[in-house]
């Protein structure tokens, strides 16, 4: 999504088990996109436009602008609220179901926890929040058309796929091939590639490169580290190859990105 524009209204954890059963507050009209994620089955839930969505383990409930929301306790979970008028992003969010089961809800919750733990209010902190929010939105986008991420095998192998994704992230600085990943997961390489791509919306190679680019963005803003050192630190074979890949992914050279981000921070 080019020139994507959105803001974070709020995010964190909540616990309505601390209050008596029943409706927590009077009905209110939703003004932006509010997500709730559940890690356990609870007696309560969320009612949108009169329809009750129970708090179900692995579930995500989405309240959209204009809906009338009621909270029915007791239940607990995590929330992530987005404010946007970006037409493309609004279209994506409007096409999400009001409630759906996520095979990778734990990944979203881990990102929300990272956001909550961010104490830096400067450029690095804002970059971290933006990065986590974009990753959450990218995960959610996979559920627009098929709540089971396009392949029934994805849910069955969800723990294995998350393990492979973590392995890719932790081994960002070295080359990791498909055979290595498939062997790690005890799956046929072709089948693993199909499952992973269905789950994350990218091939393992594309996602591995994405981890490197994200790390490079952060490294470029750390003091006076040279671009060659950033390339080496993030696993690129040369500065030339790094510059090529970075510009293809961001539309800017590493030097342009560094200059623009630092200039924006000063302003």
How much of the chain exceeds pLDDT 70, in percent?
Answer: 90
pLDDT at 161: 87
Half-sphere exposure of 264 (CA within 13 A, CB side): 12
State the chain's mean pLDDT as an integer. 87
Helix and strand numbers (H, E) in the chain are: 11, 10
SS3 207: helix
Q: pLDDT tens for residues 139-170?
A: 898 887 554 444 557 767 878 888 999 999 99
Residue 208 has pLDDT above 50, yes or no: yes
Give me the mean pLDDT over the 81-110 stretch.
90
Domain boundaries in the chain? 7-141, 152-266
Is 76:42 a contact under the CB 8 Å cutoff?
yes
User: What pLDDT does 82 receive?
Assistant: 95
Residues constituting the chain:
267
According to the model, what pLDDT value does residue 152 have? 56
Q: Which CATH number is 152-266 given?
A: 1.10.10.60
What is the pLDDT averaged over residues 185-203? 88
Q: For residue 150, what pLDDT is reported?
A: 44
CB proximity list for 244: less than 8 A, separation 6 or greater: none
The two structure tokens encoding residue 238: 């040369």
Burial 17-27, CB ≥16 within 10 A → b, else e: eeeeeeebeee
DSSP 108-132: HHHHHHHHHT----SHHHHHHHHHH
Specify the 3-state DSSP secondary structure of 56: coil
Cis preceding linkage at 74, omega within 30: yes
Statement: residue 188 has pLDDT above 60: yes
Q: How confident is the model at residue 72 (pLDDT cuts 50, 70, 90)?
A: confident
pLDDT band (50, 70, 90) for residue 224: confident
Q: What is the mean pLDDT of residues 79-99?
A: 92
Share of the chain above pLDDT 90, in %: 50
Report how far Cα 188 is from the mean position of its chain's Cα atoms: 27
**pLDDT of the residue at 20:** 56
Q: What is the pLDDT of residue 182?
A: 95
pLDDT number for residue 175: 93
CATH 3.30.70.2660 fits 7-141, yes or no: no
The contacts of residue 60 (CB under 8 Å, 6+ apart) are: 35, 36, 37, 38, 99, 100, 101, 102, 105, 108, 140, 143
Q: What is the pLDDT of residues 119-145, one digit of tens each?
A: 887 888 888 898 899 999 988 988 875
Q: Which tens digit of pLDDT belongs to each residue from 231-253?
A: 999 999 999 999 999 999 999 99
Name the burial class of residue 181, with classes exposed (0-12), middle (13-18) and buried (19+) by CB atoms within 10 angstroms of its CB.
buried
Return d(Cα 35, Cα 107) in angstroms, integer. 14
Minimal CA–CA distance to 40: which of 11, 8, 16, 68?
A: 16
Write out the DSSP string of 145-167.
T-TTTT-HHHHHTHHHHHHHHHH
Q: Grade residue 104 by pLDDT with cuts at 50, 70 and 90.
A: confident
CA nearest to 157, candidates 188, 128, 179 = 188
């Amino acid at each position: 999504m080019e020139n994507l524009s959105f803001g974070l209204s709020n995010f964190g954890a909540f616990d309505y088990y601390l209050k008596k059963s029943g409706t927590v507050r009077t009905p209110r009209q939703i003004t932006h996109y509010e997500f709730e994620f559940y890690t356990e089955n609870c007696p309560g839930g969320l009612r949108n436009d009169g329809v009750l969505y129970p708090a179900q383990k692995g579930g995500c409930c989405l309240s959209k602008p204009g809906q009338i929301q009621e909270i029915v306790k007791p239940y607990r979970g995590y929330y992530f609220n987005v404010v946007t008028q970006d037409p493309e992003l609004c279209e994506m969010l409007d096409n999400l179901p009001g409630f759906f089961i996520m095979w990778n809800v734990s990944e979203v919750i881990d990102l929300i926890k990272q956001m909550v733990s961010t104490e830096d209010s400067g450029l690095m902190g804002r970059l971290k929040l933006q990065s986590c929010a974009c990753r959450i939105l990218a995960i959610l986008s996979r559920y627009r058309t098929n709540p089971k991420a396009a392949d029934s095998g994805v849910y069955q192998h969800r723990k294995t796929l998350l393990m492979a994704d973590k392995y890719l992230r932790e081994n960002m600085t070295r080359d990791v091939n498909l055979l290595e990943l498939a062997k790690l997961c005890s799956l046929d390489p072709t089948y693993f590639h199909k499952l992973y791509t269905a789950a994350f919306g990218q091939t393992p190679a594309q996602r591995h490169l994405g981890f490197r680019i994200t790390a490079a963005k952060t490294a470029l803003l750390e003091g006076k580290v040279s671009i060659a050192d950033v390339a080496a630190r993030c696993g690129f074979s040369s500065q030339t190859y790094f510059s090529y890949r970075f510009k293809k992914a961001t539309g800017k050279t590493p030097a342009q990105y560094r200059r623009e981000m630092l200039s924006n921070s000063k302003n």
